[in-house]
Amino acid sequence: MPDNYITVRAENVSDEDESNGSPLKGIHSSLNNVEVDSVLSKFSKHIILLPQSDHVRVLQTVIRNRETTRNEFLFHADRLIRLVVEEGLNQLPYEDVSITTPTGHLFNGTSFLRGNCGVSVMRSGEAMERGLRDCCRSMRIGKILIQTAEESEIVEAKVYYAKLPPNIEERKVLLMYPILATGTTVLKALDVLRTYNVSVENVILLSLFASPKSKLFAIVISFMFK
């Protein structure tokens, strides 16, 4: 499994825009497989790589070390999740605001536009909820439970539960799922959101790891044309 950390965002694009890249924004830490390299080379305009800092590499090393204790794993995983979540928040819409400081000075800053929410794909996606809560305490978080059953080479995903924030069709959605093993679960989650009239252009996918077998191209196409 490559050391990939990805956030995917869909946007409206015209035919001219498609020649310059996909309507996606993603966050990765490093790449070492042909499929992900191909995705990035084709859709680099909207995919963001986490900087290859020593800090990120330390987190990767501890998480991937088989001798790491459970407590150390959870601590470092939470830190890495926080980095991905914060970059995802950078993709949300902001507005300019002016406030007055305690000393009476005027400060021109920014504020989130109202109407954002999170959706975790259970159960692994729930591990990312804390990182989102730490950054946005009041943000509503919904849940989707999807289970996959493998028969021969076919992976079937079934939806067992979905509880989403009210008026989700009017919100920007941070979809949380940490590991893209095959990509089937994420594609099914996008189908669920569509049944609630959520436009994929309002979805930002937050994920930590992408395996070489993940359907990254299918996810990209799903965001672009459905």
pLDDT greater than 70 at residue 12: no
pLDDT greater than 80 at residue 28: no
Determine if the peptide bond prior to 64 is cis (ω within 30°): no
Q: 29: helix, coil or strand?
A: coil
One-letter amino acid at 81 equals I
Q: Confidence band (pLDDT; 50, 70, 90) for 29?
A: very low
Task: Specify which of 12-16, 94-98, 122-126, 158-162 reaches the highest per-range mean pLDDT.
Answer: 94-98
Domain boundaries in the chain?
Answer: 6-95+111-225
- CATH entry 3.30.930.10 includes domain 6-95+111-225: no
Strand partners, 122: 145
Average pLDDT over residues 123-133: 89
Structure tokens at 197: 């009239």
Q: 98: helix, coil or strand?
A: strand
Structure tokens at 154: 């076919």
One DSSP character per residue, 127-190 reads GGHHHHHHH-TT-EEEEEEEEEEEETTEEEEEEEEEE--TTGGGSEEEEE-SEESSSHHHHHHH
| 107-116, 135-144, 205-214: least confident range | 205-214
pLDDT digits (tens, 9 = 90+) for 59-69: 989 998 999 99
pTM of the full structure: 0.79
Average pLDDT over residues 144-151: 77
pLDDT greater than 70 at residue 212: no
For residue 26, the model assigns a pLDDT of: 47
Structure tokens at 215: 């359907």
